[in-house]
Amino acid sequence: MTTLHIASLNDQTEIVKVLLAAGAAVNAKTNNGNTALNLATRKGHTEIVKALLGARAEVNAATNKGTTALHEAAKGGHTDTVKAVAPGAVGTAKNKDGATALHWAALKGHTAEVKRLLAVGAAVNAKAQNGITALHFATIEGHTETVKALLAGGAMVNAKDDEIGTTALHTAALKGHTEIVKALLTAGAAINAKTDLGGATALDLAAMKSHTGIVKLLKAAGGRGRFRE
Q: What percent of the chain has pLDDT over 70?
A: 99
- Characterize 163-189 residue by residue with b for buried, 16 or more Cβ atoms within 10 angstroms of its Cβ, and e for exposed: eebbbbbbbbbbbbbbebbebbbebeb
**CA dist., res. 183 & res. 135, Å (int):** 12
Main-chain phi, psi angles of 60, to 5 degrees: -100, 15
Q: What's the whole-model pTM score?
A: 0.87
Could you tell me if 175 and 181 are in contact, meaning their C-beta atoms sit under 8 angstroms apart?
A: no
Closest by CA to 52, choosing from 76, 92, 85, is 85
Fold of 157-229: 1.25.40
pLDDT tens per residue across span 169-228: 999 999 999 999 999 999 999 999 999 988 999 999 999 999 999 999 999 999 998 765
Closest by CA to 176, choosing from 155, 198, 206, 207, is 206
pLDDT tens per residue across span 129-152: 999 999 999 999 999 999 999 999
Stretch 23-48: mean pLDDT, rounded?
96
Closest by CA to 142, choosing from 174, 117, 114, 165, is 174
**CA dist., res. 93 & res. 116, Å (int):** 16
DSSP H stretches of helix in 55-88: 69-76, 79-85
Residue 196 Cα to chain centre, angstroms: 25
